[in-house]
Chains A and B, each alone.
Chain A
Amino acid sequence: MSRLRAATGSVPPVLALVAVLGALLSIVPLLYLVIQATSDGLSNVATEIFDDATLALVGRSLLLCVVVTSLCAVIGTTAAFLCVRTNLPFRRILFVALALPLTMPSYVAAYAWVAERPNLAGFWGATLVLTSISFPFVMLPVAAAMRRLDSRHEEVGRSLGRTPVNLAFTLTLRQIRPSLTAGSLLVALYVLSDFGAVATMRYESFTWSIYGAYRAGFNPTRAATLSLLLVLIALAIVVGEEFARGRANLASVGSTTDRPPSTLDLHTWRWPTFAALLLVPIVALLLPILFIWQWFSEGASRNNNWSELFNAFGSTLWVAFLATAVTMLFAIPIALVAARIAKKWALATDRAVFVLHALPGLVVGLGVVAVGIRALPGLYQKIPMLIAAYVILYLSLAVGSIRASIERTPSSIDDAALSLGSSRLEVFRRITLPVAAPGILSGAALVFLTVAKELPATILLKPTGFETLATELWTRTTVFEFGAAAPYAIALILVAMIPTAFLSVRGWQ
């Protein structure tokens, strides 16, 4: 992301104020989390962290993180290579099918597997679920990098006496390394912050234990301390990735050719390879859906409570709608400021939003809980607090989408309108908003769908008696009512997963 643009325009002061206010407010919960963690004194924090149980926890989380990330790196790179650089049959459709598991909520996949194969619970179950839904984080950027590769480099390598296999390791792998490490970073952060899969699989990783500390003994201090430790570990991984990537400048020298990268002819291995790769979407997507369907058709005979399902359905849409509306209210000014103003405060506003997006939903949830307990007890476990957590979590989704569409139009258009006598607010209403409308709509859709499937923050902050599809599925899974859980899983796939997939497919191709 180039941040070295010259100052490119102006923003109505009212909107700038809203943007800064939004960014500041979203940092508050994190501050309260720090206050909560240190409320029993700093020595207490140290005792909590260097506790044997805590260290074992760090070990278990890192183990899961390393195993899943390695598996994703191998599967993601192989899948990208096969779909982009070989003559595999149906490779375009297969590529989309391979990317789809990304839209599956982790707790839905985990529920499907643990319901069908209860002995998977634990490390291997968590590994299976997290790998199968997060390997596209590696596959998508690596495939994009492979498409951009310059075919001339390989030709030169061949003419210098290297075999294609040798070049795959000495040349291609090194050129895709930035994408590979960036994708792996996403996987590692996802694994660390995921709550649904590890909780359903009952693997005692960080998030699951934080939740346990919060719920079982209602020990908010320990929960807050562990949350901060988790944030620090995530930060360490991000910094580590910077080092792994190095300062390699991989900007291609000169213009690239129109000659597409050569494709490897698999000959007689075409169909066997296709069959092997097909196993991935079967395991990651088809089997879980099949399992859920089986439980659903069995459970249906036992007279499900349809009114509960419809209530949860309605509540989900309602909070998702509210959260989307509030998110857009802040996201549009923030995106405008980020796109049009090249000053430090604008950059800070933008960055704050993105840093918060990297935080686990559970941590943000706990931060909002801390605010509720300490500052606003009247709002604790009320809808506004739940909405606030959603807004903080997904503001960056909306900002990213809107900012891209604002940046596509030059600010000289604004200048032209100003010179024709419009006020800055009028320019915003008559020029900026209509031009950015597609970005605003797709950003809103993305936020809506993501809120609809959010689990950890919802569990922590939902009012008593208020249930969404996600919490209903969660409650039933924890008490092993797999048949009763199935309708909620299906509803989630229909409401959240299929539209997300539909929105994303164009970008993947």
Chain B
Amino acid sequence: MSDALVLSNISKSFGSVRALDGISFSVPEQSIAVLMGPSGCGKTTALRCIAGFERPESGEIVSGEKVLSSESIFLRPEARHIGFVPQEGALFPHLTVGENIAFGLPKGRERNDRVAQVLALVELDGFEKRKPHELSGGQQQRVALARALAPRPAIVLMDEPFSALDAALRPEVCAQVTQALRAEKTTAIVVTHDRDEALSIADQLVVMLNGKVQCVGTPIEIYQQQHNDEVQALLGDAKVVRGQLQGESVTTEDGTYAVTNAQSNDGVVDVIIRKQPVSVYKPKTD
């Protein structure tokens, strides 16, 4: 598969702070890449450089055949055809859901059809007339995604898309979003600091620390590699084992586990098992 986006050696400083220190990675077409790292690691800056809200000092960003940014070229955000979903969605508060989604579409008869289509994609059929403040956080986030997807962008960027949602709500919205992205066959780059989130949606994981890319690969590849202490702390302790996936559960040598949102068909799979804190209590004595 060819690459939808290639970043080579991108650097960006704010005053004396070097936010991006020569980062390079590429994102294959129709895949979901996750930029993961602690706050201040430069992941949001990378996203803003790709969107065109910041201009890198050096390096090149290429989307397909199109050079978005280089020493001599800087394409304005509106000419890039890259969708952007900011934190908490940032819906236009004075417009209805339908008007929000139609904002990036040319006027014409197909406009309403496309609005209905992307709304169906995020499972919000018939929400056109609602106002943003009438929606729950998860619904707002999905409308924001629909708005970004509507003009059929080459790539969609999402900045901490689930951070404002209730923890209990996250897996569900997360699954809906991934589904919508796959249905539209869109390439997506998602920024997050949340490890669980990253693992559950990433085809490709880009781990960033201190303005540098530390490692790139599928989640399995990354957990099979050796890392320095800082990256290891970020990823958390885990081991990769072989397992047999059967519907909603997977059987490994350590036991059988429930699975949600599996990214593979039934059969032999690789399983990442991460260390979680456990609670210990004094045994009940009668």
Contact = CB atoms under 8 A, between A and B. Distances in A.
B243 interface: no
B53 to A, nearest CB: 6
A171 interface: yes
Contacts of B153: 159
B104 A161 contact: yes
A251 B133 contact: yes
B84 A255 contact: no
Nearest to A257: B87
B78 A253 contact: no
B83 A159 contact: yes
Contacts of B164: 254-255
A157 to B, nearest CB: 7
B148 interface: yes
Interface stretch (B91-99, B116-124, B197-205): B91-99
A175 interface: yes
A158 B90 contact: no
B137 A254 contact: yes
Contacts, number: 88
B103 A152 contact: no
A420 interface: no
Contact of A253 (B51, B84, B89, B104): B89
A157 B103 contact: yes
A254 B88 contact: yes
Contacts of A171: 92
A160 interface: yes
A79 to B, nearest CB: 23
A159 B153 CA distance: 9
Contacts of A175: 93-94
B104 A160 contact: yes
B132 interface: yes
Contacts of B133: 249, 251, 253
Interface string A410-421: 000000000000
Interface in A140-190: 150, 152-153, 155-163, 171, 174-175
B86 A160 contact: no
Interface of A is mostly: loop
Contacts of A159: 51-52, 77-78, 80, 82-84, 104, 148, 153, 157
Given A158-B77, A159-B78, A253 B93 contact: yes
Contacts of A248: 94
Nearest to B90: A152
A125 to B, nearest CB: 39
Interface in A255-277: 255, 257
Contact of A255 (B76, B88, B93, B135): B88
A479 interface: no
B106 to A, nearest CB: 9
B131 interface: yes
Contact of A174 (B78, B83, B94): B94
Contacts of A161: 78-79, 81, 104, 151
B31 interface: no
A152 B164 CA distance: 15
A250 interface: yes
A393 B52 CA distance: 55
Contacts of A252: 93
B132 to A, nearest CB: 5
A360 B157 CA distance: 56
Nearest to B141: A254
Residue from the set B77, B85, B89, B153 with the largest chain A CB neighbour count within 10 Å = B77
A156 B140 CA distance: 14
Contacts of B103: 156-157, 160, 162
B12 interface: no
B191 to A, nearest CB: 14
A140 B271 CA distance: 60
Nearest to A164: B78
Nearest to B92: A153
B86 A162 contact: no
A156 B81 contact: no
B94 A253 contact: no
A248 B92 CA distance: 12
B147 interface: yes
A253 B88 contact: yes
A330 to B, nearest CB: 40
Contacts of B93: 175, 249-253
A166 to B, nearest CB: 9
Given A150-B90, A254-B140, 14 more contacts: A152-B86, A152-B90, A153-B90, A155-B53, A155-B84, A156-B86, A156-B147, A159-B84, A159-B104, A163-B78, A251-B133, A253-B93, A253-B140, A254-B89
9 contacts: A153-B90, A160-B148, A160-B151, A250-B93, A252-B93, A253-B88, A253-B90, A254-B164, A255-B88
Interface of A: 150, 152-153, 155-163, 171, 174-175, 248-255, 257
